[in-house]
């Protein structure tokens, strides 16, 4: 089937960038991204592309180039479903907060709602593509819903997981390591492969069965997160043995069997995928009685939580075992640089711990608003919204955020932090002035030569 119209349900971190690149590389295909969130769709349609709801380097330029030509954003979901030949499901699949599997299993209610909506609206044959991160065999549930509509519409189900790293998502889409397509119908697989084939070489487009495709996504994220937790475990050992974790990482990273990526010791991983996908993997393993497998992967999460708590505990103990009434400036709130995504950011949990010790927190992040930082903190439900607002304030200027601070905690590896006038920052802080570098981005000798008491991960 030659595809001329695509619908993507979900205008979030995956759907938006992915469809923008598909539209750019396939000018003859009409791509419509739909979402029930009117505010989000309005932001995608804003004439000022700097106000897009998602920040990714290179995204605004592609949206500006394609929007209104063959890329459209709308809340008319039924219309887009009915008109399209291929439908991507790219909705949120958060960890369940209720019932069976609470705290581990993926909540598939939004995926199921999409499938039921497609089944109700579709009047012509459709290829339905799982783009959301889903537990293995979810396609079977979607297939069951779509194939029991009582209509004569034929649905083909494909799994096409994303392997995007936030902050480099556009480059990951333009130059992917691989594109994975799982399905039963060879013609449906080739229809999607031809879309990607407009810019991706065929040797990088992998065809598998649906179940292998679904499990590959969870496994990839689990392996990447495992590397981060592994080097963070070594970072704690380094601090007790006077080894330097950056030197250890460089030494082992030069081994071609290991490689150098994801070996940067830090405060821990965050984002929407790693923790959620590992917990999902743990839940699936336990559901099959594979407890040793589940325990193994759960330890990756346990170590990551330990690293965040260890960071905040070290800050408190260094500041003479109390941060009550002390101003702590947190530079960075996004879970990593070059994104405005804060989901599972280490900053949220460190801030919560420090606020529980009655610290006063000043936040600066170049891409995250005060509204978002407060919402993240309120979601934990540790304190009242009023109390959070009185204890934590966001600033639009890093020099204002750090003024009169007792300590600075670097939570995100934004490049701009390296170019600050650190002498000026030091001059306006309380003395002694402390820096806790949770991302190991500053030079220890340079900071100490200014006068800072400097602490980093694994050194």
- The pair phi, psi for residue 115, each rounded to 5°, is -60, -40
**Alpha-carbon distances of 140 from 81, 94, 111, rounded to whole Å:** 21, 19, 12
Q: Is residue 144's pLDDT more than 90?
A: no
Q: What is the pLDDT of residues 125-140, one digit of tens each?
A: 999 999 876 665 677 7
Distance from the first to the final alpha carbon of the chain: 57
CB atoms within 10 A of CB 343: 19
Residue 95 binned pLDDT confidence (cut-offs 50, 70, 90): confident
Q: What is the pLDDT of residues 54-89, one digit of tens each?
A: 999 999 999 999 999 999 999 999 999 999 999 999
- The pair phi, psi for residue 289, each rounded to 5°, is 75, 15
> What's the mean pLDDT in 28-51?
96
Identify the structural domains of the chain with CATH numbers, from first to last: 5-208 (3.40.50.720), 218-302 (1.10.1040.10), 303-456 (3.40.50.720)
Residue 414 binned pLDDT confidence (cut-offs 50, 70, 90): very high
Q: Known catalytic residue: 273?
A: yes
Catalytic residue, chosen from 8, 114, 238, 273, is 273
The pLDDT assigned to 135 comes to 61
Q: What is the dihedral of CA 239, 241, 244, 245, to 10 degrees?
A: -70
Residue 98 binned pLDDT confidence (cut-offs 50, 70, 90): confident
The pLDDT assigned to 137 comes to 65
The pLDDT assigned to 136 comes to 59
Residue 94 binned pLDDT confidence (cut-offs 50, 70, 90): confident
Question: Of residues 104 and 313, which shows the higher confidence score?
Answer: 313
> What's the mean pLDDT in 352-375?
97
Q: What is the mean pLDDT of the chain?
A: 94
Q: What is the pTM of this model?
A: 0.89
**Two structure tokens written together for 431:** 């003395």
Residue 239 binned pLDDT confidence (cut-offs 50, 70, 90): very high
Q: What is the pLDDT of residues 370-388, one digit of tens each?
A: 999 999 999 999 999 999 9
């Amino acid at each position: 089937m030659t595809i001329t119209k695509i619908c993507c349900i979900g205008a979030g971190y995956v759907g938006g960038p992915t469809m923008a690149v598909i539209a750019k590389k396939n000018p003859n295909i009409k791509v419509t991204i739909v979402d029930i969130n009117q505010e989000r769709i309005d932001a995608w349609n804003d004439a000022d592309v700097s106000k897009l709801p998602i920040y990714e380097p290179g995204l605004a330029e592609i949206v500006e180039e394609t929007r209104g030509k063959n890329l459209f954003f709308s809340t008319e979901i039924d219309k887009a479903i009915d008109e399209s030949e291929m439908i991507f499901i790219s909705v949120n699949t958060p960890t369940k907060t209720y019932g069976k599997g609470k705290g581990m299993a993926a909540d598939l209610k939004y995926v199921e709602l999409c499938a039921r909506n497609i089944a109700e609206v579709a009047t012509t044959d459709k290829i339905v593509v799982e783009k959301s991160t889903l537990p293995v065999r979810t396609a079977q549930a979607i297939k069951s819903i779509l194939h029991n509509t009582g209509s004569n519409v034929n649905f083909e189900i494909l799994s096409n997981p994303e392997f995007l790293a936030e902050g480099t998502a556009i480059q990951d889409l333009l130059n992917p390591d691989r594109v994975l397509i799982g399905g039963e119908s060879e013609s449906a697989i080739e229809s999607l492969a031809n879309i990607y084939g407009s810019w991706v070489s065929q040797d990088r487009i992998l065809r598998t069965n649906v179940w292998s495709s679904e499990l590959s996504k969870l496994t990839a994220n689990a392996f990447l997160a495992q590397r981060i937790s592994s080097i963070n475990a070594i970072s704690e050992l380094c601090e007790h043995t006077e080894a330097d974790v950056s030197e250890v990482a460089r030494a082992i990273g030069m081994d071609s069997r290991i490689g150098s990526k994801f070996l940067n010791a830090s405060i821990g991983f965050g984002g929407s995928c790693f923790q959620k996908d590992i917990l999902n993997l743990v839940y699936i393993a336990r559901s099959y009685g594979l407890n040793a497998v589940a325990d193994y992967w759960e330890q990756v999460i346990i170590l990551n939580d330990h690293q965040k708590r260890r960071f905040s505990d070290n800050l408190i103990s260094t500041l003479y075992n109390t941060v009550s009434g002390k101003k702590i400036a947190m530079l960075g709130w996004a879970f990593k640089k070059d994104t405005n995504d804060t989901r599972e950011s280490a900053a949220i949990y460190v801030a919560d711990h420090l606020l529980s010790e009655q610290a006063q927190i000043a936040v600066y992040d170049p891409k995250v608003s005060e509204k978002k930082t407060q919402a993240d903190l309120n979601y934990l439900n540790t304190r009242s919204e009023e109390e959070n607002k009185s204890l934590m304030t966001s600033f639009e200027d890093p020099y204002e955020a750090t003024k009169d601070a007792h300590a600075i905690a670097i939570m995100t590896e934004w490049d701009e932090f390296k170019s600050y006038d650190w002498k000026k920052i030091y001059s306006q802080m309380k003395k002694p002035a402390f820096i806790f570098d949770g991302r190991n981005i500053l030079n220890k000798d340079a900071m100490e030569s200014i006068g800072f008491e400097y602490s980093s991960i694994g050194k």
